[in-house]
Structure formats: C-alpha cells, structure tokens
Amino acid sequence: MADIGGPRIAEIKGPSASGGAITPGSIVEIKAAIRHPMESGLRKDKDTGEVVPAHYIEKVEALYLDKPVMRATWTGAMSKNPYFRFNIKATKSGKVKITWTDNKGGSWSQEAEIKVQ
Amino acid sequence: MHRTKSKQWSRRDFFLATGAVGLGAVAVAALPRMAEAADISAVIAEHVGPGTPAMEKVIVDVPEKAESGALVRLPIKVEHPMEPGNYVESITIFVEDNPKPLVGKFEFFPETGAADMEVRIKMAKASNVHVVAKTNSGKLFGVVKKIDVAEGGCAG
C-alpha cells in the first residue's frame, strides 16, 4: 500500500515548431503520471490463489484556469502506475490541476503552471 | 435384395450424415465469431452510443507486437478540429479479447486544443484494439488495430 500516490505533472511542453515557446493559442502537451497498483479485480495472487481485490483509478480530471480540459473514466485495464499524455490550448498563464480518484475513495491532486509569453 | 436395400440406406445415411455434419461444422465455426463480433459492437454501443464508426480520422501508430501485455503503449490521434461547436468530445478505448473490454473513456473540450493523446494499457492476450472518437455532433470515427503480445498482462 506504500507504493501509491506521488501524482506528477511530469512535463508541460510547448510546440516544437516554436522551439517550445508557449504563446497565446499554442497547443501545449501535458504528461502526467501517478503511482498506483491498478488492480483490475480479475487477477489471482500467485501465492495464495485468491483474487486480488479491485483497486484502480476510476476518475481523472484536468482543469486549466479552473475549467475542465480533460475528464477520464478508467478501468483496471489501464497499466499499473498509469501515465497519460494530452493537450491544452494555452490562452494565458495559469494553473493546471489534475486530480486522480480511485475506486476506494483515494484522491490525489497535482498543480503546475502554464507560462504564456 | 436385402443387400441392395441396405446399400441404399447406407448411402442415404451417409448423405444425411455428411450433410448434417457439414452444417454442424459451419454452425460451430461461425457461431463464436459472430458472437464475439456482436459482443464488442454491443459493448461499444453501450459506452459510446449507437451508430457505426467511420473507419477514418483516428490514428493509432503502434507496432504489431507489444513486448508485454502489462504495458502496451497506445498513442491516439484524431485528425479533427477542436474548436467551439466542432470538436472531438470523447475517445473511448476497448480491448476486444480482454475479460472486460472497456479500458477507458477520455472526454475532451474545445480548450483541449488537439485530440492527440497517449495511454498505456493492459492486454490479457493478442487482441483487436478498438478506438472510437465521438464528435460533439454525434459523429463516430474509429480504428481497429490488431496487437499481438509476447507475454499477456494480468487481465483487463
């Protein structure tokens, strides 16, 4: 149970065409990850032969300037320690907040700043 | 006389038998495939809504074989505008041969800027992976990719 959490917005990357510079209207790439077992509830423990209970992230939400830019519903078929990449259209400098919530009520958030030139 | 009759019967029996076996074989061979195809279409309809996706605009650029089913990289790009009134509102991922085919659904907004994303998914074994994009006006676009896995992941 220890190896869970540590939400990360690992990268905020501007368009390579502009050398990574973010200007109003730029499509910005966001990479995010969290440590989580993502147990589907379908796997049996090798030693005990018992089904490992389902424990997975089921909701992910990304806000930019307090408005949703991405919302996801996941199942236990997302890989362990799930990573994902998506985009945001930058309009002005401001906060990106990503929240992960699992099926047992665990919730983790991470914030980062998009800096628009 | 008796022998002729016996021969006729046996010919008829043979014909009936082969006919029945032939039909039986066709039925047995066809049923599982039809059942699978119907199943995945029903699962897709349940999570995306009715309609047949047009097999265009969705690009999933992956190798034919993944090293591990526990971690299959899945980059997805939809060649479609992302502007108010005309955008991709969701991308939904299914692994046809996983015990539970639905992997996840991503909802987007015009502010998402581009329907270009990546996730890592589990595959219990080699399977067709279906990715379906839905626009805000309800149009469906999709792609089906057969991905082989060297070693199965611990089930969906």
C-alpha distance from A100 to closest chain B C-alpha (Å): 13
Distance of alpha carbon B95 from alpha carbon B101, whole angstroms = 5
Residue B9 has pLDDT above 80, yes or no: no
Residue of A23, A29, A38, A40 to mutate when probing chain B, most B C-beta within 10 A: A40
**Homologous superfamily of the B50-149 domain (CATH):** SoxY domain (2.60.40.2470)
Q: From residue B104, how far is each of A59, A72, A84 by CA, in Å?
A: 10, 7, 12
How many distinct structural domains can be found in chain A? 1
Q: Please answer whether residues B75 and B60 qualify as being in contact, where contact means their C-beta atoms are separated by less than 8 angstroms.
A: yes
* pLDDT score of B151: 81
Q: Could you report the per-residue pLDDT of B105-149, keeping only the tens digit for each?
A: 999 999 999 999 999 999 999 999 999 999 999 999 999 999 999
Residue B37 buriedness (CB in 10 A; 0-12 / 13-18 / 19+): exposed
Is position A19 within any domain? yes
Identify the CATH number of the domain in which residue A91 sits.
2.60.40.10
Q: From residue B36, how far is each of A107, B27, B31 by CA, in Å?
A: 36, 14, 9
Residue A96 has pLDDT above 60, yes or no: yes
Show which residues on chain A lie within 8 Å of chain B, measured between beta carbons: 27-28, 38, 40, 42-43, 64, 67-80, 82-91
Is position A48 within any domain? no
Domain containing residue A98: 5-40+54-114
**SS3 call for A21:** coil
Is position A47 within any domain? no
Beta carbons of A88 and B113 less than 8 Å apart: yes
Distance of alpha carbon A9 from alpha carbon A100, whole angstroms = 12
Is position A95 within any domain? yes
Domain ranges of chain B: 50-149
> Number of A:B CB contacts under 8 A?
107
Looking at per-residue confidence, does B32 or B140 come out higher? B140
Q: Could you report the per-residue pLDDT of B44-82, keeping only the tens digit for each?
A: 999 999 999 999 999 999 999 999 999 999 999 999 999
C-alpha distance from A45 to closest chain B C-alpha (Å): 10
Residue B98 has pLDDT above 60, yes or no: yes
**SS3 call for B73:** strand
Is position A33 within any domain? yes
State residue A27 phi and psi, 5-degree precision.
Answer: -90, 115
C-alpha distance from A80 to closest chain B C-alpha (Å): 8
What pTM was computed for the model?
Answer: 0.85
Q: Could you report the per-residue pLDDT of A24-79, keeping only the tens digit for each?
A: 999 999 999 999 999 999 999 999 999 999 999 999 999 999 999 999 999 999 99
* pLDDT score of B152: 76
**SS3 call for A100:** strand
Q: Could you report the per-residue pLDDT of B79-92, keeping only the tens digit for each?
A: 999 999 999 999 99
| Option in A70, A79, A91 nearest B108 (CB) | A70
